[in-house]
């Protein structure tokens, strides 16, 4: 009997868990999910798991060779640009097939008041113009990274994050610990309690955190939307939900490791 083919799923997302579940139990396949170890108690996917960084693209290439990985599914978050760039470099170096699963971004609809911007830093710079002076209230849902950019903005902040964020933080802030999915009723209650003048979000896409956009629309709250970093050129990209079976088929068809 031939050795099982190893598929490495770079995860930390709903899609990573879905991909691992779809692969687990397939005959002839060993699936290993990799998590960064960035959150205290991550939701764990089915199957084998490894946790922690690889040590850059070179470390990841070494792991692919050592574990005789046959294919990589990058199901990391759309804003996790570092690991995706490393996966592209490492897979090329090790001769391993790579498919990047990327959920589509969100689109502005009728009634929305969105301000798209290129980075968390420029989102922070936009805020003073959108707030009614220093009494302004900001609901910040961009995660723990980049919060230092908001430290100099004189407003009240409600910061939603999975784990407590580290300073520097805005002088006036309340931390709301929580992990999606968040349903519409919960988001309506959040908006009713916080009464934000502005919502700040990354364009994460997906269903789990989209209801906040509906709540903002219903209350006429402007939304600052941070655009995604671009994918590296030439990657094989699949939209997660509709394309997962086809993406998996492409991964299985990719050449065996050298």
Catalog residues that contact ligand NAP under the rule CB under 6 A: 10-13, 34-36, 38, 53-56, 59-60, 76-77, 79-83, 86, 143
Residue closer to ligand NAP, measured from CB, 45 or 97:
45
* Cβ-proximal residue to ligand NAP, closest one: 53
Residue closer to ligand NAP, measured from CB, 11 or 70:
11
**Is the bond into 168 cis (omega within 30 degrees of 0)?**
yes
Minimum distance between the CB of residue 37 and ligand NAP, rounded to whole angstroms?
7
**What are the start-end ranges of the H helices in the chain?**
14-23, 56-66, 81-94, 120-130, 184-194, 211-219, 240-253
**Is the bond into 191 cis (omega within 30 degrees of 0)?**
no
Minimum distance between the CB of residue 39 and ligand NAP, rounded to whole angstroms?
7
Minimum distance between the CB of residue 211 and ligand NAP, rounded to whole angstroms?
17
d(CA 203, CA 227): 6
DSSP 223: E
Residue closer to ligand NAP, measured from CB, 54 or 150:
54
Joined tokens for residue 237? 């990209």
Minimum distance between the CB of residue 16 and ligand NAP, rounded to whole angstroms?
7
Residue closer to ligand NAP, measured from CB, 27 or 40:
40
The single residue listed with the structure tokens 């689109």 is 107
């Amino acid at each position: 009997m031939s050795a099982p083919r190893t598929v490495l799923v770079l995860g930390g997302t709903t899609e990573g868990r879905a991909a691992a579940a779809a692969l687990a139990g397939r005959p002839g396949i060993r699936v290993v999910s990799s998590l960064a170890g960035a959150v205290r108690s991550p939701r764990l996917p089915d199957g084998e798991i490894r946790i922690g960084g690889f040590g850059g693209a070179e470390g990841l290439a070494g792991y692919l060779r050592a574990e005789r990985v046959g294919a990589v599914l990058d199901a990391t978050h759309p804003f996790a640009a570092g690991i995706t760039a490393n996966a592209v470099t490492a897979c090329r170096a090790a001769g391993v097939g790579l498919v990047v699963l990327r959920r589509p971004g969100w689109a502005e609809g009728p009634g929305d008041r969105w301000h798209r911007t290129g980075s968390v830093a420029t989102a922070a710079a936009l805020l003073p113009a959108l707030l009614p002076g220093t009494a302004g209230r900001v609901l910040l849902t961009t995660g723990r990274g980049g919060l230092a950019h908001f430290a100099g903005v004189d407003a009240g902040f409600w910061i939603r994050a999975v784990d407590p964020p580290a300073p520097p933080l805005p002088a006036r802030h309340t931390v709301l610990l929580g992990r999606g999915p968040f349903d519409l009723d919960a988001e309506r209650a959040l908006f009713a309690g916080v009464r934000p003048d502005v919502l700040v979000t990354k364009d994460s896409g997906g269903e789990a955190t989209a209801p906040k956009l509906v709540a903002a629309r219903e209350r006429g709250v402007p939304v600052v939307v941070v655009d995604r970093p671009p994918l590296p050129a030439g990657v094989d990209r699949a939209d997660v939900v509709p394309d997962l079976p086809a993406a998996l088929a492409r991964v299985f068809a990719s050449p065996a490791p050298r």
